Amino acid sequence: MKASNNTIFITGGTSGIGLAFAEAFLAKGNKVIICGRREDRLKEIKVKHPGIIIKQCDIADEKQRIALAEWVIVNHYEVNIVINNAGIQLTANLTQPVNITRIRQELEINFIAPLHLASLFTPHLSGRNDAAIINITSGLAFVPLAFMPVYCATKAAMHSLTLSLRHQLKGTSIKVFEIAPPSMDTELGHDRREDKTQTHGGIHVDEFMAEAMQALEDDLLEAPIGQAKGLRAKREEAFERMNAH
């Protein structure tokens, strides 16, 4: 895909990967729109980068998703790229009755919201040059970490959905990308960390961004980044190693 002169809408731009994409695309001469639930974060980002357009939204809510897509299309008609990035990461102990509300929330944010948003944008994007939908999945789409089974299942589902979406959009101008990040040091899983200063672990966002941006510019439609490559290639071996403890 071309790296400049796009109008790019990113879900979950208030931290981590979404914010890094927003900053990188802004620096390359794109118009960037981000959303997130935390209004204070959105305002801080606006102060730091006046060029970034902000919109507060909870994509777990169906009505807010519909209103969000309409708002983007009406106010930024030239939008040609949508990045489905927002996500949460929860643990779930399946040996006990689960908290089904939390499970539904994770499914809604990580799977139903990107699926719904993609479908809300495809009629608009299909008429545009250089259109793309970019789904952020995970290396854990290929090999699950068993203590976060629902998170990994949503990412596996997003991988599958991306293949189907790409197939359905074959005759249109829309390219469908999947970026599968490795473990990265962001705020992901922050809610379940008792010690909030504890890091997520994994590589620095800058290291990820260099490879991810290159993959997009090279039109690599399915791009596992860093260690995620190994998870895709050697699933069974990786599962035993990752879940040994």
Ligand X SMILES: NC(=O)c1ccc[n+]([C@@H]2O[C@H](COP(=O)([O-])OP(=O)(O)OC[C@H]3O[C@@H](n4cnc5c(N)ncnc54)[C@H](OP(=O)(O)O)[C@@H]3O)[C@@H](O)[C@H]2O)c1
Binding test (CB under 6 A) with ligand X, winner from 138, 165, 166, 174:
138
**Is residue 60 part of the contact set for ligand X (CB under 6 A)?**
yes
CB-facing half-sphere around the CA of 96: CA atoms within 13 A: 6
CB of 190 to ligand X, least distance (A): 6
**Is residue 41 part of the contact set for ligand X (CB under 6 A)?**
yes
Per the rule left: phi > 0, alpha: psi between -120 and 50, beta: everything else, 47 is alpha
77 in catalytic set: no
CB of 97 to ligand X, least distance (A): 25
**Is residue 184 part of the contact set for ligand X (CB under 6 A)?**
yes
Position closest to ligand X via CB:
16
**Is residue 207 part of the contact set for ligand X (CB under 6 A)?**
no
The interface mask with ligand X, positions 3-22, x = CB under 6 A, is --------xxxxxxxx----
Binding site for ligand X (CB under 6 A): 11-18, 35-38, 41, 57-60, 85-89, 109, 136, 138, 181, 183-184, 186-188, 200, 202
- Kindly list the catalytic residues: 151
